[in-house]
Structure 1
């Protein structure tokens, strides 16, 4: 389970990102980028962040540490900026904290990661259908010489259809992925050659453990998924199906 902490002070909004993430100080004396449950993209973005970060750790892809951060209404009450106050008020309760990496720089290609790390990141993005790691929005940080993958909220987009459609693992397995615009495509070698190695790191128990990191209250039921356990099982089934049949989504040498 992710650590459960409490926000003690809202510091400042971040200019990056359409969801207005903000910097907060927390009860563990840490500083976090807070991703809000009340942002326009909805709480499923937080679910994708947690699951993909958990998979990244299993694949030895560096990601910032995460925590579940409780936001008290008193913090929202004393925020002067009206837009931020509205966002904080809509986000009372549990939100997602991403460890703030002081001094980290946005990825610009000047210090590319090792080839094998680039391949792992592309493979992870292909598996989870994360289209949001291009030169227009790299979603990578360089910190102490290491490349960190951040901002996975665009991944696992199939769950946005669940209110009106039952989960369809076969459909997700057959969903293609265009890696040609990936920010690390020119750094990586043959991503397809890594599939057997990387998929072996994600057996079903590992997928279950990754999904189990999501708090129950963030897993919204649907007519087909009546409780948190059913929603968790659906995520595992979707990812399992995609892992089992990589023909449609696995990047090949021609995806450049």
Structure 2
């Protein structure tokens, strides 16, 4: 059984009850809030392992909550999964740009949501002991990647990446010189296969490029296929 504590911010009482029941049945401890402002305050006070955040909230929108969570040092590394309506693609992309790790479209399958949550939490978990032949440190000029320490340095200065961004960068670097398709990245980084979410990969790559600065040019776009970290 899991003992991770999750915060659900959702203003629809029926959906909130469904989420609470589903997540508690899966072994999680659940905190709940029904508006953005109280959800943000609860996240700051209780420091949950993840926030499941509806976009359409009264008072303070889910996008604003996500922006604040990623701005504040205490919650900047807390994973966020957004709950969105089917027609809110633009808002989903904005949410990913702000630092959300993933999103689930309503109406959603409770089983799918639990799988997504476990996949995101796994990205941020400490790495297991590597096999003797497995390489754990990579250096590309001034870009340093330490898989065991979960640490990235740019020209000697540590750069803060989310768990998803770190796993995306490590997947590209470990396969440097080889093209990784969007489907491959979805499977290895996000931990599942599904259709229609290729924009998720593109948005995270764009955000990753912004964070690695001068080394962004090493992450090449292979038009119509995917991405490659060049030699």
- Same fold at TM > 0.5: no
TM-score by length of 1: 0.25
Q: Which has the higher contact order (CA 8 A, sep 6+)?
A: 1
Greater per-residue strand proportion = 2
Greater per-residue helix proportion = 2
TM-score by length of 2: 0.27
